[in-house]
Amino acid sequence: MLKVGLVGLPNVGKSTLFNALTASYQAESANYPFCTIEPNSGIVKVPDQRLNELNSIVKAQQIIPTTIEFVDIAGLVRGASKGEGLGNQFLSHIREVDAIVHVVRCFEDENITHVDGAIDPIRDVDTIHIELALADQASAAKRLERLQKLKKQGDKRAAVEVAIIEKVMPFLDKVQAVDLSIFTAEEKMILPQLQFLSTKPLVYVANVTEEQLAKPDENKYVVALKKKAQEEDRPVVVISAQIESELSVLDPAERASYLESLGVTDSGVNNLIRCAFDLLGLKTYFTAGEKEVRAWTFQNGYTAPQCAGVIHTDFERGFIKAEVIGYDDYITSGSEKSAKEKGLMRLEGKEYLMADGDVVHFRFNV
């Protein structure tokens, strides 16, 4: 399962947001028997309106959304890379996640202390990027020595890793977001395995007050953060962690009317979960039967057998064909049967690249 870590300075609203996320979208553990629920880690359903649309046709016994794990990573302070605060422990938590949600304080509140005295999102963001870059520099330097030796001995893989590290280093020195376009396709594949903290996919969360939620551009902190994020080619989601924690205890109807009164169409955590999903290059396909309508996650570029393997490795090994109906075709046809009659069901083979929203039956033989 994909893991997303909430990172940020103390008192920016990470735990408030984490609690709201897990309260609103906590997955029932019955469906995920092997999920470990630790106090700072929670499995969250990925909201997807298409599941409800499909189920209005199929009327299955249950709807099972796909999930992401969120982790509230505490303890980052200036000097973490040198062991301040929880230091290395904190960094090792970040190393384990697939993507980072970087929570930034953009709200003023005299009652809530800022570790550095005043609200300044750019300084805050840089404080964290510096710690990540320092930690990366240290581990890359250690690695590089060993890799250079292997490269000299003719190790091809080591040569690629050396090339990647040499490309990343100048960005670390300048504490700049790494420009991913400079890597070759092969380097891009290997990059995540080098476990840099600075190159993990990252989304900023601007934590604002209730009044600013509908008009984030009137908040100078948000404007500054958005500008920086744009330069780095990273997304920003504007959220009020406080509001999210209030929303999280409401039922869906109450939630909708509260959101409307705030002048926004969707809850911030909803947007955040989807943003994290996109950030990771993830897509969704569906299975729809009497028993369940279910969403499955796959990596962009997966073939039909690889997607079948998401359900069970046997499905991948014994893959024969996939019966595929595009999501829109399924909905406009009004039923699987009618889609088939209209010739909208395609029989796809091993090379087929699955599309987001495909509704699928796998034929397999083991």
Query: Which of Mg ion, ligand GDP, none does residue 47 bind to, with CB < 5 to 8 Å depending on kind?
Result: none
Beta carbon nearer to ligand GDP, 73 or 172 = 73
Tokens representing residue 286 in the block: 């569906």
Q: Single out the segment in contact with Mg ion by CB under 5 A; choices: 9-17, 25-33, 97-105, 340-348.
A: 9-17
- Select the binding partner of residue 271 from ligand GDP, Mg ion, none (C-beta < 5 to 8 A, by kind): none
Hey, which residues does 296 pair with through a beta bridge? 285
CA distance 110 to 112: 5
Q: What are the two backbone dihedrals, phi and then psi, of residue 331, each rounded to the nearest 5 degrees?
A: -70, -45
Q: What angle do CA 111, 85, 129 make, to 5 degrees?
A: 85
User: Choosing among ligand GDP, Mg ion, none, which partner's interface includes residue 11 (Cβ < 5 to 8 Å by kind)?
Assistant: ligand GDP
Nearest-approach distance from CB 14 to Mg ion, in angstroms: 5
CB of residue 37 to Mg ion, shortest distance in Å: 17
| Residues in Cβ contact with 326 at an 8 Å cutoff, skipping those fewer than 6 apart | 344, 355, 357, 358, 359
Task: Between 268 and 305, name the residue whose CB sits nearer to ligand GDP.
Answer: 268
Q: Please, which residue, 76 or 91, has the CB nearer to ligand GDP? A: 76
| Whole-number Å distance between alpha carbons of 43 and 26 | 6
Q: Of all residues in this chain, which one has the CB nearest to Mg ion in the complex?
A: 15
- Contact indicator for 167, 183 with CB cutoff of 8 Å: yes
The CA dihedral of 314, 317, 320, 325, to the nearest 10 degrees, is 60
Tokens of 52: 């409800």
- The reply on whether position 55 binds Mg ion by CB under 5 A is no
CB of 68 to ligand GDP, least distance (A): 19
Complex with Mg ion: residue 76 or 134, whichever CB lies closer: 76
Tokens found for residue 87:
């230091």
40 sits near Mg ion (criterion: CB under 5 A): no
How many CA atoms are closer than 13 Å to the CA of 95, on its beta-carbon side?
A: 15
CB of 228 vs Mg ion, minimal distance in Å: 23
CA distances from 75 to 5, 41, 86, 88, 310 (A): 12, 15, 5, 10, 35
CB of 360 to ligand GDP, least distance (A): 40
Between 7 and 68, CB nearer to Mg ion: 7
Q: Rounded to the nearest whole angstrom, what is the least distance from the CB of residue 26 to Mg ion in the complex?
A: 18
Distance of closest approach, residue 257 Cβ to ligand GDP, in angstroms:
21
Answer yes or no whether residue 15 interacts with Mg ion by CB under 5 A: yes
- Name the residue nearer to ligand GDP (CB basis): 2 or 7: 7
Distance CA 155, CA 242 (A): 53
Nearer to ligand GDP, 207 or 284 (CB): 207
Q: Closest CB to ligand GDP among 14 and 102? A: 14
Q: How far is the CB of 218 from ligand GDP (least distance, A)?
A: 16
CA distance 24 to 19: 8
Stretch that binds Mg ion, among 71-79, 181-189, 212-220, 355-363 (CB under 5 A): 71-79
The entry of ligand GDP, Mg ion, none near residue 240 (CB within 5 to 8 angstroms by kind) is: ligand GDP
CA distance linking residue 46 with residue 265, whole number of Å: 17
Handedness of CA 132, 235, 250, 245 (dihedral sign): positive
Which residues of the chain form contacts with ligand GDP (CB under 6 A)?
Answer: 8, 10-16, 107, 109, 112, 207, 209, 240-242
Note the residues at the interface with Mg ion (CB under 5 A).
14-15, 74
